[in-house]
Amino acid sequence: MSILIALVVILAVVILGLVVFTARTARKVEAALPPRGKFMQIDGERIHYVDSGGTGPAIVMIHGLAGNLMHFTYALANELTGDCRVIMVDRPGCGYSERPDDAPADLTAQAATLAKFMRALGLKQPLVVGHSLGGALSLAIALDHPDCAGALALIAPLTHAPETVPDVFKGLIIRSPTLRKVIAWTLATPLGILRGAAALKEVFGPEPAPSDFPVRAGGLLGLRPKAFCSASSDAVLAEYVLPKYVARYASLTLPMGMLFAWGDRLLDYRAQGEAMKATCPALDLELMEGGHMLPMTAPDRCAALIRRVAARQREVARVA
């Protein structure tokens, strides 16, 4: 019995140590990378965003899984802010946006929240840019809230449920909310630190990850327990909701462009890009060399796609 008690005490001490380490790490990360934008309350959710305040056409940028708006401030936004109003938003529960634990978090719910966000800003059919999971969310907005999307520029987007989960994201597939929180407050942060370099190699490959990604692109924000919980719920719920949107893609008539890289190690350009092109023949699909993180590794090509889609949007508006 004494051995059992000793083991329980040791386990309790280890768990307490992990919780303390996680809490301290989260505080240090937030002190080093404080929010840089504004906040808006939407149905109990606190949405964090950066608005360039430009006077040109409005562009709303939506990041991907386990990301934040700094993926766009890293390089891409600077390519467009001269003649566009660029608005970058942390998806609900990501970055510094907050959502209650009991709030729905699937694509439909997030699309509704961001549609209300865009209406609150007075945006009229802005051009919506979506990267990775943000691409699936952009498509959901266009289908469910057409007044909030006048055109889509999709960068390495998730458009169809993948047959397999990329290795780097398999640890996020936790279906129990309770287990998800336990892991978030114990193992997720130290494992994230230990596996960080390997994870970035897979996410950016075959291109090298920028050495300043942890700070300049907000990568360190992913070490917080709430970031892990949000990423896990996003990864689990996307697979359930996405098929219902796939069935509606053929109804899309707004201008759409897409940029994909042949070497993307997270999403297959054939299963995601070419499959979308087969359903929507008018889609402007451009393929290039590179990996998944094109907003950071190829901001000029991303900006060129966005400008091309914006020109098409203006042309359609003139004809109408």
Question: Per-residue pLDDT for 123 more than 80?
Answer: yes
Residue located via tokens 């090298």: 208
Distance (Å, whole) CA 239 – CA 243: 7
Which residue type sits at 267?
L
What CATH number is attached to the domain comprising 251? 3.40.50.1820
Assign 221 to helix, strand or coil: helix
* C-alpha torsion angle, residues 17, 19, 25, 28 (rounded to 10): -100
pLDDT of res. 148:
97
pLDDT of res. 1:
61
127-131 vs 58-62, strand pairing mode: parallel
pLDDT digits (tens, 9 = 90+) for 168-200: 999 999 999 999 999 999 999 999 999 999 999
Nearest residue to 68 via CA among 296, 236, 188, 227: 227
Boundaries of domain holding 150: 2-319
Give the pLDDT band (50/70/90) at residue 216.
Answer: very high
pLDDT of res. 306:
97
Question: Per-residue pLDDT for 132 more than 70?
Answer: yes
Assign 60 to helix, strand or coil: strand
pLDDT of res. 317:
83
pLDDT digits (tens, 9 = 90+) for 108-119: 999 999 999 999
pLDDT of res. 304:
97
Question: Per-residue pLDDT for 61 more than 80?
Answer: yes
Query: How many structural domains are present in the chain?
Result: 1
Q: Hey, CA dihedral for 116, 97, 168, 179, is it positive or negative?
A: negative
Give the pLDDT band (50/70/90) at residue 100.
Answer: confident
Contacts of 284 (CB under 8 A, 6+ apart): 255, 256, 257, 258, 305, 308, 309, 312
Strand partners, 50: 88
Question: Per-residue pLDDT for 57 more than 70?
Answer: yes
Question: Per-residue pLDDT for 47 more than 70?
Answer: yes
